[in-house]
């Protein structure tokens, strides 16, 4: 099978596409891939590192207010469609898959106009602008959250697949996670992370909460600050405590996140859709602090979906304090029945077969060509 993948801007759009590629490689040996992304997007760096052939187009996103830049974006979109048609005609894919972000707009639209079977995947509980636009042209819309299916009334076919990142993480080795952290096997780990680049509000709370952790020495706390905030955050914690306690681990970044997640008992994090799919695949209870700086406030919608079924507790950023976060951590980790119930609820949302479901739909669509 020959597949074109497109999506970008953030890891939340890129890593699901990579997960789809890996699943296709496993189920369809000999499959060939081409990733079409933006010239300036994160995908231009990450995808070549995954050894997936990469082509780029010049495209920007729409402003959600009247702006002269939107006129330029329309011009770039139309040019991007023409460039994409040329790339697609040369590669001759059996199917085209878009995983979100404005870059996949012209790519998937071009595929639809060429009569190539195509599908999009929506990671969030609230559909993005690009996917909402594309939904009327593609053959299939796949969604991560079951209640998002109704968000695409003009789509020909909408299927609930979950997020393919769940498949990637589900089989992660928890013993390697403990070993990479230097923590004894079967310890109770509380992982606090503000996303791949970190989050200032969460880091500020981490600093203020550090002195309170002496009362929870039976737990191992892993703070992931993000590279930008690491030195400052670590030094501020040290100045508050005098020295770093053995049960507190401050890291700039985690390169083997699936393995670390597999070793985690409770996670405190933002509410990006791909990350939520990962923690649900492992049945990890969570305390979610949605980022307020995202389009349509979609992270809060994601978080409320988990909260509604009992898999997570939600603290809005404007309500976040060290004392409140500490009390919630203590409440969940100090109550075995509550922790077990939240874990079961988290697992109920996990779909480790997600990548397989998407690959299966891709095979079905490719037969239409």
Instruction: Identify the H or E element spanning 104.
Output: helix 104-113
- Confidence band of 199 (pLDDT split at 50, 70, 90): confident
Q: Is 10 part of any known ligand binding site? A: yes
Tell me the β-bridge partners of 97: 5, 119
Q: Domain 171-349 carries which CATH code? A: 3.40.50.2000
Distance CA 292, CA 177 (A): 30
Task: Report whether CATH 3.40.50.2000 matches the domain 2-163+352-366.
Answer: yes
- Confidence band of 60 (pLDDT split at 50, 70, 90): low
pLDDT digit string (tens) for 3-44? 999 998 888 899 999 999 999 999 999 999 999 999 888 899
- Confidence band of 68 (pLDDT split at 50, 70, 90): low
Cβ count within 10 A of residue 230: 18
Q: Is 12 part of any known ligand binding site? A: yes
pLDDT digit string (tens) for 102-137? 899 999 999 999 999 999 999 999 888 899 999 999
pLDDT value for 195: 75
Q: The whole model's pTM is what?
A: 0.87
pLDDT of residue 196 exceeding 90, the answer is: no
Which is it for strands 2-6 and 32-38: parallel, antiparallel or unpaired? parallel
Mean pLDDT of 260-281: 96
pLDDT of residue 304 exceeding 60, the answer is: yes
pLDDT value for 40: 83
Q: Which residue has the tokens 């993948």?
A: 5
Start-end ranges of CATH 3.40.50.2000 in the chain? 2-163+352-366, 171-349
- The answer to whether 213 and 186 have CB atoms below 8 angstroms apart is no
pLDDT value for 67: 58
pLDDT of residue 66 exceeding 90, the answer is: no
Mean pLDDT of 270-284: 95
- The answer to whether 135 and 159 have CB atoms below 8 angstroms apart is no
Mean pLDDT of 159-175: 95
Q: Is 196 part of any known ligand binding site? A: yes
Q: Helix, strand, or coil here: 155?
A: coil
Q: Is 135 part of any known ligand binding site? A: no
């Amino acid at each position: 099978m020959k597949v074109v993948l497109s999506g970008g801007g953030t890891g939340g759009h890129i890593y699901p596409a990579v997960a789809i590629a890996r699943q296709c490689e496993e189920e369809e040996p000999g499959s060939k891939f081409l990733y079409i992304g933006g010239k300036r997007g994160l995908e231009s760096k990450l995808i070549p590192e995954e050894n997936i052939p990469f082509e780029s187009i010049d495209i920007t996103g729409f402003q959600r207010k009247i702006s002269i830049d939107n006129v330029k974006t329309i011009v770039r979109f139309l040019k991007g469609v023409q460039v994409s048609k040329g790339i697609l005609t040369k590669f001759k894919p059996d199917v085209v898959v878009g995983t979100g972000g404005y870059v996949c707009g012209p790519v998937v639209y071009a595929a639809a106009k060429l009569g190539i079977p195509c599908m999009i995947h929506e990671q969030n509980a609230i559909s993005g602008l690009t996917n909402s636009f594309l939904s009327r042209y593609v053959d299939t819309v796949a969604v991560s959250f079951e209640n998002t299916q109704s968000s695409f009334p003009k789509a020909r076919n909408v299927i609930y697949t979950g997020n393919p990142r769940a498949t990637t993480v589900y089989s992660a080795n928890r013993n390697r996670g403990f070993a990479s952290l230097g923590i004894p096997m079967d310890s109770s780990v509380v992982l606090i992370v503000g996303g791949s680049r970190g989050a200032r509000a969460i880091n500020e709370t981490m600093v203020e909460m550090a002195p309170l952790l002496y009362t929870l020495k039976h737990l191992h706390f892993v703070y992931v600050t993000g590279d930008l905030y690491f030195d400052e955050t670590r030094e501020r914690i040290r100045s508050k405590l005098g020295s770093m306690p053995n049960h507190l681990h401050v890291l700039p970044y985690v390169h083997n996140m699936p393995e670390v997640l597999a070793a985690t008992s409770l996670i405190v994090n933002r509410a990006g859709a791909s990350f939520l799919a990962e923690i649900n695949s492992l049945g990890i209870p969570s305390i979610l602090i949605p980022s307020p700086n995202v389009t349509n406030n979609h992270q809060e919608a994601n978080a409320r979906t988990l909260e509604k079924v009992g898999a997570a507790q939600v603290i809005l950023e404007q309500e976040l304090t060290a004392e409140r976060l500490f009390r919630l951590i203590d409440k969940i980790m100090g109550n075995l029945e509550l922790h077990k119930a939240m874990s079961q609820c988290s697992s109920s949302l996990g779909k480790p077969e997600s990548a397989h479901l998407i690959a299966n739909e891709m095979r079905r669509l490719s037969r239409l060509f």
